Structure 1
Amino acid sequence: MKAGDELPTLTIPLTRTLIVAGALASRDYQDVHHDAEAARAKGSPEIFMNILTTNGLVGRYITDHFGPRCTLRKVAIRLGAPNYPGDTMVLSGTITEVTDGAAVVRVVGANGIGHHVTGTVTVGLPEGTV
């Protein structure tokens, strides 16, 4: 593993169920995450994914790649284009730094209208991995 290595992509279908379930699981009861009429009344064409669900999906992407013994030390993300139902988000990552016991990964999640999420994740690696 070295800086510049790319992680395999992860394609996530953005279903209404995923968006609503993610909001409920993270106790985010804002109506724009589950009520299409309320979302439209507030200027959005449809319900959209909350940041906590996105954060969880980014964490899943990293731990799926590095394995169950890794630890997420820092997740720093920024949202961009909303994730609406019926679209697809593709997560990709590039290792930017590898130190003793850790790696930093630049993560991008893109959907049909642009970058939904960008950021970096610092992941602690099990002894002997690096």
Structure 2
Amino acid sequence: MTSMKTKAFDDVRPGEALPELAIPITVQLIAAGAIATRDYFPGHHDKDAARELGSPHVFMNILTTSGLVQRYVESWAGPAARFADLKIKLGAPNYPGDTMTFSGEVTSQDAASRTVQVTLKGKNSMGNHVTGTATLVLP
């Protein structure tokens, strides 16, 4: 059981900022994420293959990025929050040795459905790696 508290719908307001979360990007994170999501594309675990593709190093797959986005939003919302929708778009690649820092903000709230929308981004040294929105149902 977790001691993490879930946000209550009535306690959240548009404009509320989510705390930033920095994720160090490592070879292990990239390769483990690819393997865990059954993405065996060589560019996610083989540096030589990635270089043959014109990449300086292995790079993160979208499923790992999606999982990190969900981790970020859930760490703010709490374990009883339910994802109703998640839309993300990739930008700059995540390479080992960099850090991706998430930031976000509550951008809308709907009392009828008890949902809040969070707009977020995960930025690394080259720019935004991921941008998107998450819609959550809160108790």
TM more than 0.5:
yes
Task: Look up the equivalent residue of 1:81 and give its one-letter code.
Answer: A
> In structure 1, the residue corresponding to 2:29 is in which secondary structure?
helix
CA-atom RMSD in angstroms: 0.6
Q: Does 1:107 align with 2:113?
A: no
Task: Look up the equivalent residue of 1:65 and give its one-letter code.
Answer: W
Task: Find the counterpart in structure 2 of residue 11 from structure 1.
Answer: 22
> In structure 1, the residue corresponding to 2:15 is in which secondary structure?
coil
Task: Find the counterpart in structure 2 of residue 40 from structure 1.
Answer: 51
> In structure 2, the residue corresponding to 1:48 is in which secondary structure?
coil
Q: Counterparts of 1:72 and 1:83 in 2: how far apart (Å)?
A: 25
> In structure 2, the residue corresponding to 1:43 is in which secondary structure?
coil
The CA deviation string for residues 5-31 of structure 1, in whole angstroms up to 9 with x for no partner, is 110001100011000000000000000
Gapped regions of structure 1 (runs ≥ 5): none
Give percent identity, aligned residues only: 52
The CA deviation string for residues 91-126 of structure 1, in whole angstroms up to 9 with x for no partner, is 000110011211000010000110000010001112
1:79 deviates by 0.2
TM-score, normalization by structure 2 = 0.89
The CA deviation string for residues 56-86 of structure 1, in whole angstroms up to 9 with x for no partner, is 0000111111100001111100000000001
Task: Look up the equivalent residue of 1:15 and give its one-letter code.
Answer: T
Task: Find the counterpart in structure 1 of residue 65 from structure 2.
Answer: 54
Instruction: Please identify runs of 4+ aligned residues in structure 1 that moved more than 2 A.
Output: none
Q: Counterparts of 1:79 and 1:3 in 2: how far apart (Å)?
A: 25
TM-score, normalization by structure 1 = 0.95
Q: Counterparts of 2:74 and 2:24 in 1: how far apart (Å)?
A: 19
Gapped regions of structure 2 (runs ≥ 5): 1-11
Task: Find the counterpart in structure 2 of residue 65 from structure 1.
Answer: 76
Q: Counterparts of 1:113 and 1:95 in 2: how far apart (Å)?
A: 25
Task: Find the counterpart in structure 1 of residue 101 from structure 2.
Answer: 90
Aligned length, in residue pairs: 126
